[in-house]
Chain A
């Protein structure tokens, strides 16, 4: 019998493992929603229960919006991530075009440097960049949040790999038609590379929306805070952390990404497989 049905057993095992993995991944989110729905007294009670006895989500949300200017933080998040992405594309596309389609001395060396740049973690350059921003007096501004990320070596690499697959004939046809080299980047290569640009956009927006480290070190002013800092706002060592509103705020700030994911699930998955980032 077991020989006749080897596949169902394996399939069951596979599903059990996958469900366990999914549950593990989802647990913090479920706990976040659970905590956000509980009143303060239940959060600190010693018994462990997922469904609150008294449903307090609305109160916690109200308190979260009252204590911190959450809408402002969400707007900051949009301003910063969109500016970063637009500037990254404006830098990466011409650079990637040059590396993929133009012949010039030192092209391979430059490309090797780009690859090398991918290996450097942002934390390693944080202090020099911080000092630089301090010297030019840009700390504690939108510019401090945006400028360090405008040149994305990963973006250049990704677009260069994609441009390599665009046939040379297309570029030559554009030259015969009288389109300038910059024109080729925006009128020919960009439309051809929309899937790659989308993928890179998803990667870039997710990374910078969720970035906690860099905004934390360059910002002082409250009105410039990005969404992850908004959550930290509820941590208070003196009066004790108010977990209910904190979790409610966390729910609010991840909501845009979750909604975007639900709307463009297929694109997200394509993008993430294309960029090879998990």
Chain B
């Protein structure tokens, strides 16, 4: 159980800055997800925490103790890898035993034949066996312990890898995209299992993923990374509802948030697609971008109209792709009721509530809005 503190972590590979000064504090017992598109530096950050990669500058503290220059194994963290990284020549049992044998047995006791003759070895091996059996029971892998990784399915290997991490009772668990090699169904199942494991162990979990669904469903907090910077951290609901940056808004949520070009007038009002919204802001006049989540787009009523260009019916919900008339903009609306889908190529009126609007300046930073009294967007204003 540990808190991890990162201060001003910088890292570059061959002159390219991969991490540009990361400051972050992970509280004890938290489930933190580091999310971001590939190449954003999230895996590098995890490897720096683990000690597998040295940072160019900055410090890592675990429980207030600086760990820079300390070997990975001495940091007492456990890591689960994307490829599971099980030793292919060892059985599941021996795989889980490796960290315990490395820690509890002396170098001589680990020798293949001679070690078995030493007096203390048998008692230690008995303890190791008992510990592994306990872990195997928790993870439901007892019948698999004798098998080699090659004879296990993806999900089973995943569990063995988690077992190898759990058995050493680490200060914190590090996960590097552990579910991305599993098929979609198993991934959903393992998501629930990992979240359950976190609740039971109450340990600190640092979880790297590019899959925002994993981050949203499991974590207590999400840290979104882009281009080597940590741009926002918060609970899943905060990240989803109050993105501080347009890149966060676009990365989190599937289908992607709808972004429409807008304009801030001198009096603080906002025009979108020729319509004035019931909103004001304090920002300087100029271009801006308006973002609305697909589920907040209401079809049938509203000041805008668009043509249906594509329909995706998923059974429980449907996505309607609209081309907004008179502009090149496209947007996606989520329909909860799939029984009343608009026809392809038909024209549909749509609108959205003022409180569904998130506004960003051209650089992508969030602009605070004040919602005026009425809920609905005003009819087109003829100026």
A residues sitting closer than 8 Å to B (CB atoms) are 167, 169-170, 172-179, 188, 191-192, 194
Contacts and interface: CB of A to CB of B under 8 A. Distances in A.
Contacts, number: 59
Contact of A172 (B85, B86, B98): B85
A191 B89 contact: yes
10 contacts: A170-B87, A173-B85, A175-B71, A176-B78, A177-B102, A178-B74, A179-B73, A179-B102, A191-B88, A191-B89
Contacts of B84: 169
Query: Which 4 A-B pairs rank lowest in CB-CB distance, beginning with the nearest?
Result: A178-B73, A173-B85, A191-B89, A178-B102
A170 B83 CA distance: 8
A81 to B, nearest CB: 24
Interface in B144-160: none
Contacts of A188: 87
B52 interface: yes
A167 B88 CA distance: 11
A172 B52 contact: yes
Given A173-B79, A173-B86, A177-B102, 9 more contacts: A167-B85, A170-B83, A172-B81, A172-B85, A176-B73, A177-B164, A178-B74, A179-B73, A179-B102
Contacts of A173: 79, 81, 85-87, 164
B3 interface: no
Most B CB contacts (10 A, CB to CB) among A167, A170, A177, A191 go to: A177
Nearest to A167: B83
Nearest to B168: A177
B369 interface: no
Contacts of A175: 52, 71-73
A173 B87 CA distance: 9
B89 A169 contact: no
B103 interface: yes
Given A191-B88, A192-B89, A177 B81 contact: no
B82 A191 contact: no
Contact of A169 (B72, B78, B83, B103): B83
Contacts of B74: 178
Contacts of B78: 176
Interface in B94-111: 98-99, 102-103
A278 B52 CA distance: 42
B102 A192 contact: no
Given A172-B52, A173-B79, A178 B89 contact: no
Contact of B73 (A167, A177, A191, A194): A177
A167 B84 CA distance: 10
Interface in B134-182: 164, 176
A259 B102 CA distance: 42
B252 interface: no
B1 interface: no
Contacts of A172: 47, 50, 52, 72, 79, 81, 85
Interface string B201-245: 000000000000000000000000000000000000000000000
Contact of A192 (B72, B81, B82, B88): B88
Contact of B77 (A169, A170, A176, A179): A176
A31 to B, nearest CB: 46
A170 B72 CA distance: 14
Contact of B81 (A169, A179, A191, A194): A169
A124 B260 CA distance: 74
